Amino acid sequence: MAVKQLDFWFSLLKLAAKSAFALKTAFFGRIVFMCLNNLILLVGWWAVFQSFNHINGWAFSDFMFMSGLVIAALSLFTLFFRGAGIHLARLIEFGELDPYLIQPRNPLFHICCSVSDASGLGDLISGCLLMSFSGLITPGNLGVIILMFLAAALLFLSMSILFSSIPFYARDASDLSERLFFIFFNIAGYPGCIYSGLAKFILIFIFPAGVMSILPIEMIHTPSFGKIITILSISVGFFGLAIFSFYQGLKRYESSNHIRSKRS
Amino acid sequence: MNTSDTTSTTALCVTHLSKSFPVKSKQGNKIIHAVRDISFSVTKGECVAFIGPNGAGKSTTIKMITAILYPTNGDISLLGMNPWTARKHLLPRIGVIFGQHSQLWFHLPAADSFRLIGKMYGLSNADIQKRQSYLARLFQIESFISRPVRQLSLGERMRCEIVASLIHQPEILFLDEPTIGLDITAKNIIRKTLKKLAQTEGMTILLTSHDTGDIEEICHRVILINKGRLILDTTLDILKQKYITEKVITAFYADGHKEERRISVNSSDLAQEIMRLTQSGHLSDMSISNPPLEEIIRSLYQRESL
């Protein structure tokens, strides 16, 4: 039974990737432009760090590592769970979850895995390069970095599900869901050293972009068991909250009779 | 969950089912009663048409039966199970086709979607291939099964949608307007094949459609609902016998023109009317028939809306 489950999820991911690759120009275009986008971002922050050398104790290498972690974590989400973003929010808003609700698989993860975005490959390449060139990865901390990378990817998935569930509770809110996710990603992309006090607390426990932008660098420089447990707990906690939010919202779902096709 | 009246031959038992939606408006909050206290049952192997005008509550009822919407009140027993508590066991045994929603991947060939759906139901690659080939032949989709879905016509896509819903050989098939917007050829293929599958595989069918051709070709029983209430539950034959109020006499003349007269079934003027028609010209043929089902249903809708 478990083998059949795995076979299905593997086939679903494969089909999502095949669907993304079906339009080849768009596929390669997205990868190239995402790499360029990340490069431009990096050059901008390089110029800032050239002027100040250090910002609140952070060197450019810290920023490179943090950016690499955030971008690579986003790539995991974009490549394998892109259905959780605006796609899910619009399915809810337009009352089009029906095909997923009548199939004998978990509807939430079926939707999440049914869309793959090729730009994730560009992010994955740039993210891994940035982390590698930061010089902060050592054989001793590689295990912890992988854990932080997976926790960050889980956090992107969780926040995306959480924001995408808003249309269950407020009509015409799919654009709001998308904007919130952009804000979350943008905040995660700023160096964590600029936050302190209440702002830092909010960005770790309430709007947890700081779990990617603040805690990993602290963990790299002053490793502690408590910090890694905090990172993992917050990610798992928000994942639980996202699933709860989706299934509570599903009870309010209103199916519609729009004529549309399942685009992916 | 009341399943006391659910026997091994009962496929579906709906008891006092209701669904209300709260609607906000400038005048304040309102409650829309989409389905009101509906009860009916369907025996295994039956093909039932679930009909009514737009907004009657047909789709809402089907969505409650298939666990897409929560009922406000009432019980549903589908294959002896509650659709909400036994989803996991129930969903592999049913198939649902919504004319408006697609389960095919837009940029990929339909065959890819069939394979994924087969795996979703735990079928082996060999079983998927065998079933797909059989259904592809029946629904005549072999020539375009390898084309991306975005390049298919509506009729071709709908045939693929139906095949996708039949890959796992469901015991009950719910069809919500399966022939909406299709040409007569596509409609005929779908109707004849569904009828054949119902007979050969013992599949139960619950169909909603505004097309009386679907109803006459596939179903033998009709459930009519209007404004959320069940109005009529009878066989197609009884519907025709009981609700036909007039006969249509058509006379064809040698010069090519034809004349049509409608006579009440209770009228004693039938012989006189035939005589009048025969004297109107050089008669070449004559027929006495029932009005089409569409007219009977239309008159029922009109009667119910008064």
CA B209 – CA B293 distance, rounded (Å): 13
Question: Would the pLDDT of B306 be above 70?
Answer: no
Q: What is the H or E stretch that residue A46 is in?
A: helix A24-52
Instruction: Find the CB nearest B107 among A1, A23, A259.
Output: A23
Specify whether B87 is located in the same domain as B201.
Answer: yes
* Whole-number Å distance between alpha carbons of A18 and B108: 8
- Residue A108 lies inside a defined structural domain of this protein: yes
Do B123 and B197 lie in a common domain? yes
Residue to substitute from A11, A27, A102, interface B, most B β-carbons within 10 A: A102
Contact flag B108-A19 (C-beta cutoff 8 Å): yes
Question: Could you tell me which residues are beta bridge partners of residue B233?
Answer: B223
- pLDDT tens digits for A138-176? 999 999 999 999 999 999 999 999 999 999 999 888 899
For residues B257 and B167, membership in a common domain is answered with: no
Which residues of chain B does A4 touch, with a Cβ-Cβ cutoff of 8 Å?
119, 122
Candidates A158, A156, A134, A157; CA nearest to A145 is A134
Residue with tokens 């697609």: B102
Q: Cβ contacts of residue B9 below 8 Å, gap of 6+?
A: B43, B44
Mean pLDDT (whole number) for A5-11: 84
Interface contact flag, A8 B119, Cβ < 8 Å: yes
| For chain B, percent of residues with pLDDT exceeding 90 | 49
> What's the one-letter identity of residue B40?
F
Token code pair at residue B17: 């089912």
In this prediction the ipTM stands at: 0.74
Chain A interface, Cβ < 8 Å to B = 1, 4, 7-8, 11-12, 15, 18-19, 22-23, 96-99, 101-105, 251, 253-255, 257-264
The pLDDT score that the predictor gives to residue A160 is: 96
State whether B66 and A255 contact (CB < 8 Å).
Answer: no
| Weakest mean pLDDT among A89-103, A187-201, A250-264, B122-136 | A250-264
Query: How many structural domains are present in chain A?
Result: 1
Matching residue, tokens 């819903």: B165
Mean pLDDT computed over every residue of chain A: 89
> Are the beta carbons of A262 and B103 closer than 8 angstroms?
yes
Q: Give the number of C-alpha atoms closer than 13 A to the C-alpha of residue B158, restricted to the C-beta side.
A: 24
Q: How far apart are CA A148 and CA B119, in angstroms?
A: 33
Bridge partners (DSSP) of residue B224 are B51, B232
Write phi, then psi, for B16 (nearest 5 degrees): 50, 50
Closest residue, chain A, to B148 (C-alpha): A22
The residue range of the domain holding A130 is 11-250
Host domain of residue B55? 43-67+79-241
3-class secondary-structure state, position B21: strand
Chain B closest CA to A236's CA: distance in Å? 26
Say yes or no: B235 and B92 in one domain: yes
pLDDT in tens, B232-271: 999 988 887 777 777 888 889 888 888 888 887 777 777 8
B166 in the same domain as B56:
yes
Strands B73-78 and B10-25: what pairing?
A: antiparallel
Q: What's the rounded Cα separation, in Å, for the pair B39 and B28?
A: 31
Please indicate whether residue A74 or residue B88 has the higher confidence score (pLDDT).
A74
Cβ-count burial A143-169 (b if 16+ within 10 Å, e if not): ebbeebbebbbbbbbbbbbbbbbbbbe
For residue A244, give Cα distances in angstroms to A77, A150, A239, A248, B256.
19, 21, 9, 6, 72
Residue labelled with tokens 């070449």: B284
User: Quick one: pLDDT at residue B5?
Assistant: 46
pLDDT digits 0-9 by tens, B171-194: 999 998 888 888 888 899 999 999
- Looking at the structure, tell me whether residues B151 and B281 fall in a common domain: no
The yes-or-no verdict on residue A214 having pLDDT over 90 is yes
Question: Does the residue A261 lie in any domain?
Answer: no
Q: Are residues B261 and B162 in the same domain?
A: no
Q: Which amino acid is at A127?
A: G
Q: Are residues B86 and B50 in the same domain?
A: yes
Residue B261: inside a domain: yes
Instruction: Indicate the average pLDDT of chain B.
Output: 87
Question: Which residue carries 């629904």 as its tokens?
Answer: B139
- The answer as to whether B2 is a domain residue is no
